[in-house]
Amino acid sequence: MVRGTLHTLILSTVILAGCDNQKEVNRIETIRPIKAITLSDPVSAVQLRRFTGLIQAKNVTELSFQSSGKVTEIRVDNGDQIKAGQTLALLDDETFRLNLNSAEADLKKSQAEFQKVNKDYLRKKELRKKGYVSASDLDQAVADKDSAKLSIKSARSRLAIAQKELNNTVLKAPFDGYISSRTVNPHTEVSAGQILFEIDATGKLEVELKIPENLIEQIDQGKAGTVYISNRDKEPLDGVITQVGTRAQEGNAFLVLFEIAEAPDWVHTGMSAEVAINVADEQMQDGFLLPASAILPDPNKQLHYVFVYDNVSGTVVKTPVILTGGQNQQALITSGLQKGDIVAVAGASFLSDGMKVRLPPIKR
């Protein structure tokens, strides 16, 4: 009887010990792993600023005839798509054809004259060898030949100019693009250099911005930003500053060009746009950038807090912080944290002050 009771007690003790061990295993397994980062040097405080501008083609050109005359034909209109080399307008070419014919006739006359004096030179050269022609006569023949040769050269130059002027009566597109402006009608007189068309090249688009003088020192070439177009505000476009003006314009503003990296088909020149750029804010303190998932509001104290990992206890500590803004889609924390703190950046709502956690490899 005693032996049976002892056996029962031993068995019960083993079972209880097994239960305690199982509870310990379960307790260890429930230690929550957390995703965390180690804070490095604080970043400079910046503020996201939006600047308004107009979208334009990166390459724009104005076209005009190089000679005055009457426009006989216009082959394109505003908004038309054009190809490089396409004829856009024609100028009355009658006068230019007459000039070309005259230049051709002058060249033929000069060539004929050269043939004549060259033949005379060759004849006198042979006669000189026989003593029938004086040295001065031969020298004059050489001079006449050289003069005729120069006349041919001059006539060819006039012919080339006449040909070029005739060719210029046809106005052609220098590259693929669109007609953004047409300021001439057929059968009207135009002067040399008068602007007839503005062409926007197919390809890259940019936004022309006017930056106030108090911010221009914080705008650098190569600085990235985001473009928002009013009717498609939920489809932001990436880009970069490609040019910063060095001279103040109207209203003491500086011209800045912002190139859109990849503009979809629905983006056109003339559209209004806003460009969001991070600029330094001297009134704000430097701080640490954290994702929104790391920060929770404290409704009782109207503050925010994060969970900082304690290496000694293996727990997280609820730490009040001051949030003063954001940049690059992250929150800027300017008080409550310091370099080297290990901050939980995911699942903060499932943590509590003093909770034991398991830390995976730290990302900086």
The answer for residues whose C-beta is within 8 angstroms of residue 103's C-beta and 6 or more apart is 155, 158, 159, 161, 162, 163
**Inside any domain, residue 8:** no
Please indicate, yes or no, whether residues 350 and 289 belong to a single structural domain of this protein.
yes
Give residue-wise pLDDT tens across range 259-282: 998 888 888 888 899 998 877 665
Band (pLDDT 50/70/90 cuts) for residue 93 is: very high
Please indicate, yes or no, whether residues 226 and 256 belong to a single structural domain of this protein.
yes
Please indicate, yes or no, whether residues 160 and 245 belong to a single structural domain of this protein.
no
**Inside any domain, residue 9:** no
User: Mean pLDDT throughout 12-38?
Assistant: 61
Please indicate, yes or no, whether residues 211 and 340 belong to a single structural domain of this protein.
no
Please indicate, yes or no, whether residues 82 and 185 belong to a single structural domain of this protein.
yes
Band (pLDDT 50/70/90 cuts) for residue 292 is: confident
Question: What is the CATH number for 190?
Answer: 2.40.50.100
Band (pLDDT 50/70/90 cuts) for residue 363 is: low
Please indicate, yes or no, whether residues 86 and 185 belong to a single structural domain of this protein.
yes
Domain holding 327, by residue range, is 30-45+285-358
Question: In this predicted model, which residue has the larger pLDDT, 44 or 9?
Answer: 44
Question: What is the CATH number for 120?
Answer: 1.10.287
C-alpha span between 83 and 172 (Å, rounded): 9
C-alpha span between 69 and 91 (Å, rounded): 6
Question: What is the CATH number for 270?
Answer: 2.40.30.170
C-alpha span between 35 and 347 (Å, rounded): 8
| pLDDT above 80 (res 18) | no
Give residue-wise pLDDT tens across range 174-208: 989 989 899 999 999 999 999 999 998 888 899 99
Token pair recorded at residue 80: 């038309």
**Inside any domain, residue 364:** no
Please indicate, yes or no, whether residues 268 and 291 belong to a single structural domain of this protein.
no
Q: Tally the domains of the chain.
A: 4
Cα atoms found within 13 Å of the Cα of residue 135, Cβ hemisphere only: 0
**Inside any domain, residue 20:** no
Please indicate, yes or no, whether residues 245 and 294 belong to a single structural domain of this protein.
no
What is the DSSP secondary-structure string of 33-101?
E--EEE--SPBPPEEEEEEEEEEEESSEEEE--SS-EEEEEE---TT-EE-TT-EEEEE--HHHHHHHH
**Inside any domain, residue 12:** no
**Inside any domain, residue 298:** yes
Please indicate, yes or no, whether residues 246 and 296 belong to a single structural domain of this protein.
no
Please indicate, yes or no, whether residues 267 and 144 belong to a single structural domain of this protein.
no
Question: What is the CATH number for 312?
Answer: 2.40.420.20
